[in-house]
Amino acid sequence: MNFRTLISIGFAALLAVCALPSIAAETVLLEAEQFSQTGGWMVDQQFMDQMGSPYLLAHGLGDPVSNAVTSVAFSKTGKYHVWVRTRDWVAPWKAPGAPGKFQVMINGKPLATIFGTEGAAWHWQDGGTVRVKHETKVELHDLTGFEGRCDAVLFCSDLNFQPPNEPAALAKFRRTALGLPEQPEDGGHYDLVVVGGGIAGTSAAVAAARLGLKVALVQDRPVLGGNGSSEVRVWPEGKINQEPYPRIGDIVAELVPDKTKADGNAKDAPNYADDRKLTVVRAEPNIFLLTEQRVNEVESTGEVIRSVVAQNTRTGRRVRLTAKWFADCTGDGAVGFLAGADHEISKEDHLGASNLWNVRDAKELLKCECKDTNALSTIVAMGPVAAPFPRCPWAIDLAGKPFPGHEKTKDGKDKISLDRLGGWYWESGFNQDPIADVEWMRDLNFRAMYGAWDTLKNVDHLYPNMKLGWAAFIAGKRESRRLLGDVVLAADDFRNDRKWTDGAFPCSWSIDLHTPNPTFQKGHEGQEFIARSTVSSKEYKYEGPYWAPYRCLYSRNVKNLFMAGRDISVTHDGLGPVRVMRTCGMMGEVVGMAASLCKEHDTLPREIYEHHLDELKKLMQRGAGKKAFAAAHDN
């Protein structure tokens, strides 16, 4: 039996028809991310390593999103048992209300079961039975706009069948049901595979490609830029083009516009220049770009990576990418971890994750016919359009409690301010596992945001004409795994101005570490959601720019693995000055240059330091930006 669905392919989001056979004539599995029309639901891939699959998220900020729709061709009509893989996302806190409610509609009629109402863990919720026709329309109908989530819908004519939920059995069931091959398809051979399309990974790919390498750049979202994209909206910081290597940073400057007074965190989407990044990458004939592809398998021989396997986050199809050198620019150190690289992870007292958000004048939102606009920036004049907001008994109860934007002055007067809502300091997960618990962290950020807005709107009766305008559903991570190189850079190296013969990228950000803010901590101990930084303290400053060593940019035990970004070889406190995105982008430029020397000399990253450092410095002096290549052409 076959069913037809439309899938999104690559960065162009082209639609193609894909016939997917089921495991038996009476069993049909519909992956939610493969619905032909996702409507207002968002494809969320960031937790698939933990729960097994991308899923659809009803990210409506309190307004129900439009239906996701697909059609199914059943070879056999009659009665089928329906199962829906979902969860009640506030159940980990035993919160009332099950805000992620949705219905499954069959040929326009909803099943009796309301989904997303039970279970803290991902599981198959029983949807009862339904009679289907040969051609059947299936829809996901959101009821709340409050982060409902659906992984898959399963139909089975065996009314006693129960689908597997254990990870290995479920993965095999998915492959069989969708007709996916057991082995990945051949995705080609490359000089360098860069995994992670943030500023670091994109810079590495561009530098390597311009220096003659055949490069595959793998990104699990439809846009490039990572935390600096329109999906997360953290403004890239860090000083580029510093002496004695003023050309380091030229590629970053091509990718990231200069900051203006209108730029910053949680601004409107065009500020983050998604198209600009794609244009730069597409202009490089040596780059093969794979978007919406997540690397979740590494194939190694001893201490050498031979290939990585990437899974398409829409279709589930897997490809094997083979190369001589690899660069882990995932932020999470995912490739290094899978390859057995030495690493550290701080499971307590680490930097958390943010989901930035903002509020808007309802009049402006209506005028633009969208939920994502910043015509008047975050602070806007009150409009005449009423904007009610539902009560959120499942959110964090902040009535009468302080939070940024809802505080008191020293003399006890109320201090209410819109510009304190949704900033970088709305951060959680300081003592959670930053890999295993990241969905929990993201959802706690949601509960804090909705609780704050519920308090302002419904308890204090403020801002009657304002709405939540935008909120990131992709977590803005700061710290997780750190892969270890021949040098593990620490904060004291910055404080003591330790010099390195292989200084390769300039650091200018302070030793910026985040901890729970005690001003807002009472009553939320262990589940804090407001951070403070260390930037104002003298002990967290140093004389910059500080040139950090190349030896932080390759693994000490996986011989052909580079890294660039927040997963490089630093301690917890050493992460503070290196983690901002322009700085990470310069790491990527140097990795691309070093990879070109690896090809030239048929050698490994460590050998560049030991035998070819002067050549690397010459490349760093010249740079790999367009200006350098234009000058070389003119000469």
Q: Is 104 exposed, middle or buried (0-12, 13-18, 19+ CB in 10 A)?
A: buried
Dist CA 566 CA 502 (whole Å): 19
**Domain boundaries, given as residue ranges, for the chain:** 2-178, 185-342+477-508+544-634, 370-404+419-476
Confidence of residue 129 (pLDDT cuts 50, 70, 90): very high
Q: DSSP string covering 188-207, please? A: EEEEEEEE--BHHHHHHHHH
Q: Is 170 exposed, middle or buried (0-12, 13-18, 19+ CB in 10 A)?
A: buried
pLDDT digits (tens, 9 = 90+) for 171-230: 999 999 999 999 999 999 999 999 999 999 999 999 999 999 999 999 999 999 999 999
pLDDT digits (tens, 9 = 90+) for 425-480: 999 999 999 999 999 999 999 999 999 999 999 999 999 999 999 999 999 999 99
Q: Determine phi and psi for 360, rounding to 5 degrees.
A: -140, 160
Can you give the pLDDT at residue 101?
A: 98
pLDDT digits (tens, 9 = 90+) for 5-26: 322 323 223 223 233 333 444 8
Q: What is the mean pLDDT of the chain?
A: 92
pLDDT greater at residue 29 or residue 4: 29
pLDDT digits (tens, 9 = 90+) for 495-512: 999 999 999 999 999 999
Please report, to the nearest 10 degrees, the dihedral formed by the alpha carbons of residues 435, 437, 443, 449 taken in order.
Answer: -80
Q: Determine phi and psi for 477, rounding to 5 degrees.
A: -75, 150
Can you give the pLDDT at residue 171?
A: 94
Poorest-pLDDT segment among 23-32, 270-279, 337-346, 516-525: 23-32
Residues 6 or more apart whose CB falls under 8 angstroms from that of 221 comprise 45, 197, 229, 231, 291, 292, 474
pLDDT digits (tens, 9 = 90+) for 135-185: 999 999 999 999 999 999 999 999 999 999 999 999 999 999 999 999 999
Can you give the pLDDT at residue 18?
A: 32
CB 471 within 8 A of CB 355: yes
Can you give the pLDDT at residue 368?
A: 52
Closest by CA position to 454, among listed 467, 441, 442, 443: 467
pLDDT digits (tens, 9 = 90+) for 573-602: 999 999 999 999 999 999 999 999 999 999
Dist CA 474 CA 443 (whole Å): 11
Residue 377 in this model has a pLDDT that exceeds 50: no
Residues 6 or more apart whose CB falls under 8 angstroms from that of 538 comprise none
- The CB density around residue 175, as the number of other CB atoms within 10 Å, is 16
Q: What is the CATH number of domain 185-342+477-508+544-634?
A: 3.50.50.60
Across residues 53-72, what is the average pLDDT?
97
Can you give the pLDDT at residue 367?
A: 56
Can you give the pLDDT at residue 430?
A: 97
Can you give the pLDDT at residue 588?
A: 98
Q: DSSP string covering 213-278, please? A: --EEEE-SSSSSBGGGSTTT-PPP----S-TT-TTTTHHHHHHSPPP-TT-STT--GGGG-HHHHH
Confidence of residue 625 (pLDDT cuts 50, 70, 90): very high
Can you give the pLDDT at residue 5?
A: 31
pLDDT greater at residue 631 or residue 326: 326
Residue 54 in this model has a pLDDT that exceeds 50: yes
Degrees, nearest 5: CA angle 69-75-76: 105
Poorest-pLDDT segment among 221-235, 304-318, 378-392: 378-392
Can you give the pLDDT at residue 635?
A: 54
pLDDT greater at residue 16 or residue 303: 303
Tokens 């592809």 sit on residue: 293
Fold of 2-178: Jelly Rolls (2.60.120)
